[in-house]
Amino acid sequence: MSQTEVPEPGPNQAARTHAAAAADVDVMSISPVREEGMLTENALADPFDADTVAKAKNLIGRYPQSRSALLPMLHLVQSVQGFVSQEGIAFCARQLDLTDAEVSAVATFYTMYKRQPCGEHLVSVCTNTLCAALGGDAIYKKLQTHLGSEQEPLGHQRTVGEPGERGSIMLEHAECLAACDLGPVLQVNYEYYDNQTVESAVELVDALRQGEKPAPTRGAPLSDFKSVELQLAGFFPEDEQTYRADVDGPSHATETLAGAKLAEERGWAAPAMSDDVPLPEVEAK
């Protein structure tokens, strides 16, 4: 029977065997192998400054239980880094006295938390049923090749340009964006651009790449992804005039209110509910 230097499946025996190292042996330092990507015990860097820590404490103070602040705190992390990094996971865990695993379970559940560095702008194309039938699928496929190439289309939640830099864009296909009456729609940093076509969508991303900020169809003026994430975390301009200019804006469209307007013109109203409505009987167990 032949012998091999390294154990292999089958009947061959290894030429040498090795005993397990004692608990006090630094196996990393004595290992003869040094390969790129080997695990190390280096502590994660902390890119979050005192202002971010203060904002995190502010969020915690808004809830009776600190862990309830996790969702806005993940938005706070994205407002700093443009995505939820492993450092961001550790930061949230320290602030909330949670494990990294508990934070990761939440961050990976929701699609609004990005695990790859996002561009200055997040472009979300609705590809749910109605928008897809109206042209959403065609818009998404066109933007994939326009921002990438025919040979290498830009993938879902991938960024063209240097993440965070002026004109960089992360593209994603999204489920229902709750604007079926205005489809096909897309969003840039969660602001709506309604009734899109392939041509108008290409014009929009070209303007974004050039550093422009075309006005959304409705809603607040277009900002960048990190600024919007700070708002989603719950921090807004304190000055009323700045708040109105940066955050506030009309959220409805003519199509959205068409039914209500028709009902008002024709005097239609839903029947009033009686004040004396019996509760349904509950079957005894």
Cβ neighbours, 10 Å, residue 141: 15
Q: Give 225's contacts (C-beta < 8 A, 6+ positions apart).
A: 78, 82, 118, 119, 120, 121, 122, 170, 189
pLDDT for 8: 59
pLDDT for 32: 58
For the cut 90, the answer to whether the pLDDT of residue 40 exceeds it is no
pLDDT for 284: 75
Q: Give 21's contacts (C-beta < 8 A, 6+ positions apart).
A: 27
pTM flag (> 0.85): no
Kindly report, residue by residue over 152-197, the tens digit of the pLDDT.
Answer: 999 999 999 999 899 999 999 999 999 998 999 999 999 999 999 9
Q: Where are the beta strands (DSSP E) in 147-197?
A: 158-160, 169-174, 186-188, 191-193
Q: Name the residue ranges covered by the structural domains of the chain.
A: 50-107, 121-224
- Is 50-107 assigned to CATH 1.10.10? yes
Kindly report, residue by residue over 195-242, the tens digit of the pLDDT.
Answer: 999 999 999 999 999 999 999 999 889 999 999 999 999 999 888 888
Domain range 121-224, its CATH number among 3.40.50.1220, 3.90.76.10, 3.40.47.10, 3.40.30.10? 3.40.30.10
Q: Which residue has the tokens 């602040």?
A: 69
